[in-house]
Structure 1
């Protein structure tokens, strides 16, 4: 069973991911910027809200999660380097497959970092996390 302190390490990133999905989806609906290639979105794209390119949602989520892991987990230097490389690979793979412009990915990285900072400001205590889990 998880300790009380472990709960905040599980619940806070989950809440941050939900926040990220809402913020990115809202920004994409406002900006309505298409990707570099005029690809007709398929059914899966509509279901996953992946019809607009700015900001890149994958990039914002991977930036936020990698920053979270770097701050809250004790990792050896090689793992820290791999984590940063993972974030960069995820972000720039979106450019390589033609789903995003480079500026979409860079802005996604920035939004992810800003969301990390926001979640750090409103970090949930272990008691709050226990309450949320018990309600769930």
Structure 2
């Protein structure tokens, strides 16, 4: 995975433009609103808020903590969406093998081997997927929908400003996230389907710690 590959000239021109555009964008924001270091704790918080491990562990825990059918349906479908997202991003990263920006600091929480690659941004795919998928399936208050969208946009912008990704890595991740949300909307499990999947992994007659919500 570490060998150098020949990149087609048209693609190389796009990637070179992306590097320059990313540098100019970060420098512009730093000069106009910076220094960016004073926002680093906020951007790190956004990074953690969309990290795959807390989302997976938290969702899996709550699936078996609550036994309300509608709540469990939501949690099971989100868990499946997260698994789908992880698989798609891992495959694309392994195929593309684009390096992260040269001044990226290797201080991300709980990374795996493919995380050293930059395209697509997994945080962008996950944030956009969730911010589209949940409103697709539920009639939320407008303020909640706006909060989800603002959170996903903040996560995406922070990926560039933290120097984790180039602009096209994030833009590509956002597009993939929308497609993932559309796909999961088609595959969305009913309450009965979600419960059946849970029963496949757990005999609930042996579980006495469930809470009725």
Q: TM-score range by the shorter chain?
A: 0.7 to 0.9
Q: Which has the higher contact order (CA 8 A, sep 6+)?
A: 1
Specify the alignment match of 1:21 in structure 2.
86
**1:74 alignment partner, SS class:** coil
Moved more, 103-112 or 7-16: 7-16
Unpaired segments of 5 or more residues in structure 2?
1-65, 202-213
**2:198 alignment partner, SS class:** helix
Unpaired segments of 5 or more residues in structure 1?
none
TM-score, scaled relative to structure 1: 0.87
Cα distance in 1 for partners of 2:139, 2:133 equals: 11
Change beyond 3 A, Cα 1:76–1:43: closer
Cα distance in 2 for partners of 1:115, 1:51 equals: 22
Deviating runs (4+, > 4 A) in structure 1? 38-46
Q: What RMSD in Å do the two structures reach over aligned CA positions?
A: 2.2
| Structure whose CA Rg is larger | 2
| Per-residue deviation, 1:4 | 2.4
Matched, 1:132 2:193: no
Change beyond 3 A, Cα 1:62–1:5: same
**1:133 alignment partner, SS class:** helix
